[in-house]
Copies of this chain bind each other. A is one copy, B any other.
């Protein structure tokens, strides 16, 4: 038994992720660890939840997602380990795990005890990494904690053709949670922030980046199967000034 441990955090490229790996290897010398990403925007639980939801299914069954985006670290929020139909998820009960766990169906969840000597600012190191290491070695959830339901839900906004900008990738692609419309050749796009419209324009739709003319904004179905907005050889997000968390509508042009 040597389950793969997959890391998703907002720790960036400093030492925090490396220290968690050290803790895992101390407990489980043969551990297999892989980085999903450490570049969730700082404290952005919603973005972390989206990235986890979109990615988990590409990993082998029985993988353990050690997920830490945890602005409430050290507070009363619970520390969870969850068994779903095909995977394990370990992390804070703040919504981060919710969409992926709901998607793969929750079978069982436990609250991890927090030792008095655990740092109140780094449960990733002192609570979550040890739990993931022991799961990877074959421990059962019951050995790790006491049964406890996940209490904090997180749902991405969807209301008809309104959705949200769930993340922006390195290329500046604006990624939404909106499904594509089968026959669309153009979308009317509207983005609002705090109730104010920041963009309203019509964009053409292409199947590949290569089809788009240089310098043109366009809609495309991205690799998550949802609509994205791209700018050929540039950053659509910088060009449009939009952010993760903005609400977005992408409808057929009337």
Residues of A that sit less than 8 Å from B by CB = 4, 6, 10-16, 18-19, 21-23, 25-26, 29, 33-39, 42-43, 51, 54-55, 58-60, 63, 71-75, 77, 119-122, 125, 167, 169-171, 207-211, 220-223, 225, 228, 233
A-B contact pairs, 23 of them (CB 8 A): A4-B25, A4-B29, A14-B51, A18-B35, A19-B36, A19-B55, A21-B34, A22-B34, A22-B36, A22-B60, A25-B60, A26-B59, A29-B60, A42-B170, A43-B171, A43-B233, A58-B125, A71-B233, A73-B210, A74-B207, A74-B210, A121-B209, A121-B222
Knowing A25-B4, A75-B211, say if A13 contacts B15 (CB, 8 Å). Answer: no
Q: Is the CB of A223 within 8 A of B122?
A: yes
Q: Which residues of B contact A58 (CB under 8 A)?
A: 19, 22-23, 26, 125
Q: Is the CB of A14 within 8 A of B73?
A: no
> How long is the Cα–Cα vector from A211 to B72 in the complex, in angstroms?
9
Q: Which residues of B contact A125 (CB under 8 A)?
A: 58, 223
Which has the most chain B C-beta neighbours within 10 Å: A22, A51, A225? Answer: A22
CB distance from A113 to the nearest CB of B (A): 17
Question: Which listed residue, B37, B207, B209, touches A15 by the CB 8 Å rule?
Answer: B37
Residue in B closest to A35 when the chains form the complex, CB atoms:
B18
CB distance from A100 to the nearest CB of B (A): 13
> How long is the Cα–Cα vector from A207 to B37 in the complex, in angstroms?
28
> How long is the Cα–Cα vector from A33 to B34 in the complex, in angstroms?
9
Q: Is the CB of A14 within 8 A of B209?
A: no
Knowing A26-B60, A55-B19, say if A13 contacts B34 (CB, 8 Å). Answer: no
Knowing A29-B60, A210-B72, say if A15 contacts B34 (CB, 8 Å). Answer: no
Q: Which residues of B contact A72 (CB under 8 A)?
A: 208-210
Knowing A223-B119, A233-B43, say if A38 contacts B13 (CB, 8 Å). Answer: yes
Q: Is the CB of A36 within 8 A of B13?
A: no
Q: Is the CB of A42 within 8 A of B171?
A: yes
> How long is the Cα–Cα vector from A73 to B207 in the complex, in angstroms?
10
Residue in B closest to A36 when the chains form the complex, CB atoms:
B18
Q: Is the CB of A55 within 8 A of B15?
A: yes
> How long is the Cα–Cα vector from A169 to B225 in the complex, in angstroms?
35
CB distance from A103 to the nearest CB of B (A): 15
CB distance from A43 to the nearest CB of B (A): 6
Q: Which residues of B contact A171 (CB under 8 A)?
A: 42-43
Q: Is the CB of B23 within 8 A of A75?
A: no
